Amino acid sequence: MSGLDAESTFSGVKPVEERHRFDEARLAQWMKDNVKGYQGPLTVFQFKGGQSNPSFRLETPGRAYVLRRKPMGKLLPSAHAVDREFRVISALHPTGYPVAQPYALCTDDSVIGSMFYIMGNVDGRIFWNAQLPTLTNADRREIFTAEIETLARLHQYDYNALGLSDFGKPGNYFARQIDRWTKQYRASETDRNETVERLIAFLPGSVPEQERTSVVHGDYRLDNMIFEKNANTVAAVLDWELATLGDPLADFTYFLCSWLLPPDGRSGMAGVDIKALGIPSLEEAVDIYCKATNRPGLPDLDWYFAYNLFRLVGILQGIAGRVRDGTAASEQAKETIKRIGPLAEASWKYARKAGA
C-alpha cells in the first residue's frame, strides 16, 4: 500500500458501521449529564483508521469530541483498556504534554454496550507513511525530531508526581512483557510457528538489566500522533491503551523499528534512501533521543529489536484471533495477519545477533 493509499484508506471519518452502532440518544443524554459544557444535538461518525479500539467523532454545533470504546464481543484479558487510556491522558494533560483534553469515562456497559471515554477532538495533520511523501526534506527532519523529542519528554516525567505510581509495576518490565505477549500469542494462536517457539524459548532468559522506569506509551509511532496544522510540532499523542510503567528503552527501540521494517506505505523504511529524504539515520535518531534524555548512549540494540519484533508478532496474532472470533475492527486486519511470519523471522535474525 502506498503512502497516499494509506492516507485515503485510514484518514477521515465514515458513517458508523452497522456492527458498531449504538443508541446515540442514550449517549447524548449521558454526555449531557457527565461532560461539562456539552450541548447537543449530537451527530456521530466513525473514524476510518484504527483496528483496536473503535473510535468515533462526535459533532455538536459548538465543538467536536472523540469517543473511544472497547470493542464488543469476546476479548483478550487486559486488552482494550480504555480506562487506562483515560487515566494516563488525564494525568498528562495538566502538565502541558500533547494529549487530547479528557472529558469523562463511562464504565457502565449499558450506555452504549461497552466501556468508553470522551476526549476533545484535536485538529491537525496525521501522517500514515513514515517517508512523508508530501513534505519537504526540511519538514521531514523537523517531524522526526519532534517525534523523538516528544517521546523523550514523556520518559523524563516523574510518574509519582503524575499520580501514576500504581499504573504498573516499576521493575522487571521486559520479563513481564515477554510473558504477556507470549500469553496473548497463545490465546490467539491460529497456526504453530517454529520460529516464534524459538523466540519464546530464548527471550525470557536473556533480558537486559533495566536502568530506568518511566511512563511508556507502548505503541509510539507516526500515525499515533497529530501534528499542528501549520507547524511541525506534535499537537497530540493518541492511542494510549498499551501505556504502563516500564523501561523507556522499550518505547524508544519500538519506535526505531521503523528503520528495520520493509517499506509498506506505513511505518517501514528499510532500504529506503532516507538521507535523500532528509530523514535522520537510525544513529542520528539515537543521538537525538540520548541528548534529550541525558544518556551517554544506548546499549547494543539487537536484543531490543528482537524483543520489539516479537512483541509485534504478539500484537498481530491478537488481531488474527479477533478476525477468527469476529471482533476485529478493521477491514485491513486480515492483511495485517500476513506480516506475522516475516516479523517472526526478522525477530529471530536479531535474536541470533544477540546471542541466541
Cell triple for 223: 500515525
Residue 136 region by backbone torsions, left for phi larger than 0, else alpha for psi between -120 and 50, else beta = beta
Highest average pLDDT, of 9-13, 61-65, 73-77, 330-334, comes from: 61-65
Look at residue 172 in the predicted model and tell me its pLDDT: 87
CATH fourth-level superfamily of 137-353: Aminoglycoside phosphotransferase (APH), C-terminal lobe (3.90.1200.10)
Name the segment(s) of the chain with CATH classification 3.90.1200.10: 137-353
Asked if residues 281 and 145 have their Cβ atoms less than 8 Å apart, the reply is: no
Look at residue 133 in the predicted model and tell me its pLDDT: 95
Which of 26-40, 262-276, 324-338 has the least mean pLDDT? Answer: 324-338
Identify the burial level of 209 via C-beta atoms within 10 angstroms of its C-beta, where 0-12 means exposed, 13-18 middle and 19 or more buried: exposed
Residue indicated by cell numbers 535522520: 280
- How far CA 276 is from CA of 130, 144, 262, 286, in Å, comes to 14, 15, 17, 19
Look at residue 13 in the predicted model and tell me its pLDDT: 87
Query: What string of H, E and C letters represents the secondary structure of 271-320?
Result: CCCHHHHCCCCHHHHHHHHHHHHCCCCCCCCHHHHHHHHHHHHHHHHHHH
What are the pLDDT digits (tens) for 220-277? 999 999 999 999 999 999 999 889 999 999 999 999 999 999 888 888 999 999 999 9
Asked if residues 46 and 55 have their Cβ atoms less than 8 Å apart, the reply is: yes
Look at residue 73 in the predicted model and tell me its pLDDT: 62
Reported pTM: 0.88
Third-level CATH fold of 3-120: Phosphorylase Kinase; domain 1 (3.30.200)
pLDDT-derived band at 48 (thresholds 50, 70, 90) equals confident
CB within 8 Å of 126: residues ≥ 6 apart:
11, 49, 223, 225, 226, 227
Cell triple for 86: 483515560
Name the segment(s) of the chain with CATH classification 3.30.200.20: 3-120
Mean model confidence pLDDT for the chain: 90
% residues pLDDT > 70 (the chain): 91
Look at residue 53 in the predicted model and tell me its pLDDT: 74
75 pLDDT higher than 90: no
